[in-house]
A and B are shown apart, each in its own frame.
Chain A
Amino acid sequence: MTARDDVVVLGVGMHPWGKWGRNFAEYGSVAARVALVDAGLAWDDIDYLAAGNTMRNGYPGYVAGSTLAQALGWRGVPVSSSYAACASGAVAIEAARARIQAGRADVALVVGADTAPKGFFGPLPGDRPEDPDWLRFHVLGATNPTYFALYARRRMELYGATPKDFAAVKVKNSKHGLTNEYARYRKVFTEDEIFESPIVADPLRLVDICATSDGAAAVVLASADFAARHGVDKPVRVAAISTVTPTYPNTYLDLPDIATDSAVGAPPPSRSFRDSIAHAAYEEAGVGPEDLSCAEVYDLSTALELDWYENLGLCGEGEAEALLHSGATTIGGRIPVNPSGGLSCFGEAIPAQAIAQVCELVWQLRGQAGDRQVEGASVGLAINQGLFGHGSCVILTR
């Protein structure tokens, strides 16, 4: 094994998203086995296992790498267990890629799996005033949807966005995910149905906000040499992974903080944190927004999907609503966004979600996405942000 740059995706697999309350390792084992079959490999071929942790499943969830290695059958494989909130999956993929690039593995398995509680996510138990995540709940009752609603209201006030625009995102994604066998919610929403949904945090309604789900996703990464030796024709290539953190002063209100940095001591960075997540990936891949065939973005809320259009440079600031209504981000348009149906159709299974985004891109780039296929897809991007300052962006090419 020698150091190399090119890392490819040999296999992808998912366990359907839903809410069953079974152990996360059961879901993860299923996704892992499906990905191994897809890669034409066996667990015995894997040199390294990288997993995304889950915070709500006890100690085994904090050491997801070894839990999943045990579930698949101990055979001495080195593991890593990463936590970066919603970005955990991408950080795990990066750990596997780095191992392969360093020449210390030929082929690696990456798995994220979660079992989610019902209702709002709360902080970990205990009385912990020094933990920003505890503080925001205790003194403010600032749930995740509270923050999503603050961002949505900001769009309305700055750019004139309306709840009808947000509903149009939901309608689009509900159509995209309708026949996705892994999606939890497969139902086309109409605007009328959306407006009957109760408001959770004004202006966002229940169906504007992504649910929390059980689910698992896995990818098999390998060196390009390994793929060539195994006769894999035109494998999907990992062109970039960005796992950047913010630049001081971060003057945008991010979860879970109750205050931003101050702009008094230093000028705010030229790019916002979310802009910088995409920028780092574009730089590494040597592509720009105009080169993308499709994108999976983290639609924690319908309104947030519109923010991502601008962070990705698909349009200028304040132009996302026009881009949406032009049909450009619908399958068949110039740059379909969330062809999988997105979090809108899946709900969020935290450590699995960034990996699931990559699974969708791989199917799109291989031309295996069925009813939701983006014609001729050759460059795909997945982006997300995890609380406590975690960026995540993956660009795949074929």
Chain B
Amino acid sequence: MSKPRVPAVEGLFREADDGTARLLGGRCRACGASYFPKQWSFCRNPTCTGGELDDVELSTRGTLWSFTDNRYAPPAPYPAREPFEPYGVAAVELTEERMIVLGQLARGVSIDELSVGQAMTLVVEPLYETDDEVRTVWKWRPVT
């Protein structure tokens, strides 16, 4: 039997039935600004008279702002696997929310095939495994 898939950090995203990632953020009722992670319960726009944030799922599409890769294993608390395999990192500007969100690049996506401005979308992939669970994370991949 396969292990259940659980987000590596609770409350940051959920895996939709179609396997895509839905980032869990906050949105101000008054000014419409979104926050990810939600972090605090209130809007921090100093010109906004609003107050509490609604829990929302952010949009899943954006354009590539920049990208790189990690060729060496990051230090703890990154759960690096042995042997370490380099992986990509992308900064993507969500079109609807007009904010940049970082994510790893999906497995098999080479940074050689990327260019700034291209359309990207969110997927869910394993980050590491415990004895009982597969701990997952959101990742970016190009829209094909």
Which chain A residues have a beta carbon within 8 Å of chain B's beta carbons? 119-123, 127, 129-130, 132, 134-143, 146, 149-154, 157-158, 198-204, 248-249, 251, 253, 258-266
Contacts and interface: CB of A to CB of B under 8 A. Distances in A.
B46 interface: yes
Contact of B71 (A151, A157, A201): A201
A110 B69 CA distance: 39
A145 B119 CA distance: 25
B79 A138 contact: yes
B9 A138 contact: yes
B102 interface: yes
Contact of A258 (B80, B102, B115): B102
B contacts with A: majority SS: loop
Q: Name the residue in B32, B77, B80, B127 with the highest tally of chain A Cβ atoms < 10 Å from its Cβ.
A: B77
11 contacts: A129-B9, A137-B76, A139-B12, A140-B78, A141-B87, A153-B67, A202-B111, A248-B44, A261-B99, A262-B98, A266-B31
Given A157-B116, A263-B99, A137 B77 contact: yes
Contacts of B11: 129
Contacts of B97: 262, 264
B8 A253 contact: no
A139 B45 CA distance: 27
Interface of B: 8-12, 28, 31-37, 39, 43-48, 65-80, 87, 89, 91, 97-104, 111, 115-117, 127, 137
Contacts, number: 155
Contact of A251 (B32, B69, B98, B127): B98
A266 B98 contact: no
Contact of B72 (A136, A150, A200): A200
A137 B45 contact: no
Given A141-B73, A141-B89, 7 more contacts: A135-B37, A140-B103, A141-B87, A146-B89, A201-B89, A262-B34, A262-B35
Given A149-B68, A201-B68, A119 B111 contact: no
Nearest to A122: B75
B71 A266 contact: no
Contacts of B103: 140
Nearest to A138: B77
A146 B10 CA distance: 24
A265 B28 contact: yes
B66 A150 contact: yes
A136 B48 CA distance: 28
B48 A265 contact: yes
